Amino acid sequence: MTSGHNGSTDKMDDEHYPAYTMGRAAEIVGATPAFLRAVEQARLFEPTRSDGGHRRYSRYQLRLAARVRQIADQGTGIDAACRIVILEDQLAEALDINARHQRAQTPPSNDP
């Protein structure tokens, strides 16, 4: 469940750019590398691999992993928490698409 590149000319502005190593990603999320591997195994996302085969994570992936951690910390299993986050992400995307569609369909107001 990984979205594409947003077209930014600066890689660090791109929330999908795989800028973080596993150790740094775990530190940012407040979890262990084993947690990130479990999230990967639950198919929330697939991290990019460096030329040396090391996992690299984007800000978008870390945001998803942090949300899974919040849900898991409340007692939900990682697999179920990942499914919840996937559904939340899909809903947010659908609502965004719907809002853009509605704005495109709304005629401009003639009010002064």
Domain that holds residue 28: 11-105
Domain for residue 4, yes or no? no
Domain for residue 92, yes or no? yes
**pTM score, whole prediction:** 0.79
Report the alpha-carbon distance of residue 91 to residue 99 in Å, rounded: 12
Element spanning 57, H or E: strand 55-57
Provide the pLDDT for residue 8.
Answer: 45
Read off the pLDDT of residues 26-62 as tens digits, 9 standing for 90 and up: 999 999 999 999 999 999 999 999 999 999 999 999 9
How many domains, the chain? Answer: 1
Domain for residue 54, yes or no? yes
Count of C-beta atoms within a 10 Å radius of residue 95: 10
